[in-house]
Amino acid sequence: MRRRGLLQWGLRAAGLGLWPGLAAAAPSRWLDRDGRPGALALQAIELLADAASHGLVADDYGVAGLQAALRRAAAAPEAADCPAQALAPALDAAMKRFLADLHAGRVDPAQLQLRFTPARREPFDAAGLLQAALASGRLADAVNAAAPALPQYQALRDALAVYRKLADHPAWQQALPPLPGDPGSSRRPARLSPGQDYAGASLLAWRLALLGDLPSAAWPRGDSLRYAGVLVDALRAFQQRHGLDSDGVIGTATLAALQVPPAARARQIELALERLRWTPLLQAPRMIVINIPEFVLRAYEVVDGRIELRQQMKVIVGKALDTRTPLFDEDLRFIEFSPYWNVPPSIARSETVPRLRRDPGYFDREGFEFVAADGSVLTGLSDARLDAVIAGRLRIRQRPGPRNALGDIKFVFPNREHIFLHHTPATALFERQRRDFSHGCIRVEQPVALAGFVLRDQPGWGEPRIREAMGQGRSTTLRLDAPLPVLIAYGTTLVKGGRIHFLDDIYGQDRVLDAALRQPRPALPAAD
């Protein structure tokens, strides 16, 4: 089986975190010679109680019951109900569930209809990892080994701690006042521009200082009403971190982001941590990852266990309303230079044919032609041929050229959704802050740079030859010597440049994951 990238590296058994065929850790490891809970039992409960720092829930591991059982066992190890003997298997089950959750996530992505496939690797041995940690006396080593070995994961944990501390802060106990202007007037929309007075300026400064966008030393103390100077600079930093136009103007979208309470942002970080537990980003030596809510593609390679970024560029993804780009992973296998665009039947029926009936000249201007089932090409436009397209007997394609919707290069990773990466003649759309404009396929801002990364190890394919192939006007297909994994992922929270960034949940995936994480789990064995 080929390496296809992701997830579910060892399936948890029966929802209890117990691993078939693997022995439980020896109870004597948890207990002292006198039968009382030992130091390892205390370590385990401390680690389980800290599950929240990973975005997990301590109740999933029965922490409260374990703590109570530990106290009883410490006080009366020889009591009739043998609390100490019951504590040991309960600690086994709780720790194995915790380690499994850290390694592969609490939710199976398949439940969310995400088409990720298991990576080719040995099943995760939670019991073996636990036994080794018990033997060494360092349970924290098992936790560190199970959690994703990614700097991003620890950076998100640090950010989670910050936002949790702000959850009940008085700066968010009252809402920011309405913006100046008449929200009901199209001529004077509600907005706050630099230099204006604003009744909420002091509260705004307080929030921005707590969030780290406004240096504390620059915080304009007192009851100033002026929105100006360092306060505008801080607001621009806030906008940049929240995927907004960083123009310093507070409009409806910026005000809404400012009103989001820290507890909601903390939950958003928890969802990001869960997604990272699904994604083995260190498994392939080179990889292309597209983050849908960020509208960004990153190409990287793994060097000595570290991710090194090689390319980063803007992308355009599927419309959130009706043509969302699906989330999955596949291997990039071909590059098409000067490609034809085979108009998908759904687009042909709903858009292209109606446009051609209204404007027949559109056919020649765009370089369209008809293709029959036997591959023969028909270049003349007629109502009968348009009817044949609607009936499925003909299809429409666009010839290579400057107006081709795919631009001059197409990156193909075969998949059942017919999604691929490509360039586009409509480059102005890359300047938009929000870039969900496509029918599902992903348009890339810098195709030459991406092709250079993909073909780096393919002899004879330097930049001059790539540009020549892209500009030849004749469609050719190049098979890659080695497939390259492509992951279409979804993350609304990430740390960049040491700062936490939040993005809009444009496809509603955060809501779906949040609901899945709130589903109850089967109870673990009782500790008494």
User: First and final CA of the chain: distance in angstroms?
Assistant: 45
Give whole-number Cα distances, 459 to 67, 83, 144, 454, 455, in Å: 62, 68, 41, 12, 8
Pair 415, 308 in one domain: yes
- Strand, coil or helix: what is 504? coil
Q: Which amino acid is at 340?
A: Y
How many beta carbons lie within 10 A of that of residue 35, not counting itself?
17
H or E segment to which residue 374 belongs: none
Give the model's pLDDT for residue 477. 97
- Decide which of 242, 260, 278 is a domain's last residue: 260
Give the model's pLDDT for residue 26. 43
Please name the residue that has the structure tokens 């044949």.
388
Give the model's pLDDT for residue 328. 87
H or E segment to which residue 55 belongs: none
Give the model's pLDDT for residue 219. 66
| Orientation of helix 83-104 relative to helix 262-278, angle to 10° | 80
Pair 321, 418 in one domain: yes
How many beta carbons lie within 10 A of that of residue 189, not counting itself?
13
Residue 222 located in a structural domain: yes
Pair 390, 428 in one domain: no
Check: CB of residue 470 under 8 Å from CB of residue 272: no
Q: Which segments of 230-272 are extended strands (E)? A: none
Question: What is the spatial distance between Cα 92 and Cα 43, in angstroms, rounded to a whole number?
Answer: 13
Pair 65, 139 in one domain: yes
Pair 426, 295 in one domain: yes
Pair 395, 380 in one domain: yes
Strands 286-291 and 476-489: parallel
Pair 457, 313 in one domain: yes
Give the model's pLDDT for residue 33. 76
Pair 390, 414 in one domain: no
Pair 374, 355 in one domain: yes
Pair 119, 56 in one domain: yes
- Decide which of 260, 295, 318 is a domain's last residue: 260
- Decide which of 399, 414, 438 is a domain's last residue: 399
Pair 502, 432 in one domain: yes
Pair 439, 507 in one domain: yes
Residue 161 located in a structural domain: no
Count of all residues that appear for the chain in the document: 528
In CATH, what number is assigned to the domain containing residue 253?
A: 1.10.101.10
Token pair of 259, please? 């009103």
Chain-centroid distance, C-alpha 35: 47
Q: Which of 481, 486, 361 is nearest to 417 (CA)?
A: 486
Residue 280 located in a structural domain: no
Listed in sequence order, the residues at least 6 apart from 234 whose beta carbon sits closer than 8 Å to its beta carbon are 205, 208, 209, 213, 214, 215, 218
Residue 350 located in a structural domain: yes
In CATH, what number is assigned to the domain containing residue 303?
A: 2.40.440.10
Question: What is the spatial distance between Cα 387 and Cα 373, in angstroms, rounded to a whole number?
Answer: 15
Give the model's pLDDT for residue 223. 66
The number of folded domains in the chain is 4
Q: Which segments of 93-185 are extended strands (E)? A: none
Burial 149-175 (b: 16+ CB within 10 A, else e): ebebbebbbebbebbbebeeeebbeee
Per the structure, the complete domain to which residue 448 belongs is given by 286-331+406-515
Check: CB of residue 466 under 8 Å from CB of residue 448: yes
Q: Is 244 exposed, middle or buried (0-12, 13-18, 19+ CB in 10 A)?
A: buried
Residue 107 located in a structural domain: yes
Residue 71 located in a structural domain: yes
Residue 447 located in a structural domain: yes
Q: Which of 174, 367, 168 is nearest to 263 (CA)?
A: 168
What are the per-10-residue average pLDDT scores of the chain (528 residues)?
31 30 50 84 96 96 92 71 73 96 90 63 82 94 93 97 96 92 61 93 94 82 81 96 95 95 98 90 87 97 90 97 91 96 93 96 95 94 95 95 94 93 95 95 98 96 96 94 94 96 96 94 79
228 torsion bin: left (phi>0), alpha (psi -120 to 50), beta (else):
beta
Residue 14 located in a structural domain: no
Question: What is the spatial distance between Cα 386 and Cα 315, in angstroms, rounded to a whole number?
Answer: 33
